[in-house]
Structure 1
């Protein structure tokens, strides 16, 4: 998120690239997938360390 904000601040328009080009769209989906998997994995590790 910070990288996108910095890119927008300097005028590189990363959001336009992610939304309008096929490669950008693929990278956007890939990034969202990795973020979701990271959250699931972190949740898994926490639940194993501190059982509820």
Structure 2
């Protein structure tokens, strides 16, 4: 979903709604943390305070 957004901000609520296994905001935060750890450059996924997440591609 972050890639499909093309660099625009994706809210936590949108990420939660898209993935049925995501129960709450904490689950999204954990998934984003794991994604950052798996990427060669963790800074590719940015947190936009009070808005959500963005991936710089």
Rg (Cα) greater in structure = 1
Q: Does TM, scored on the shorter chain, surpass 0.5?
A: no
Q: Greater relative contact order: 1 or 2 (C-alpha under 8 angstroms, separation 6 or more)?
A: 2
Give the alignment's TM-score, normalised by structure 1. Answer: 0.34
- Give 1 or 2: higher helix fraction: 1
Give the alignment's TM-score, normalised by structure 2. Answer: 0.31
- Give 1 or 2: higher strand fraction: 2
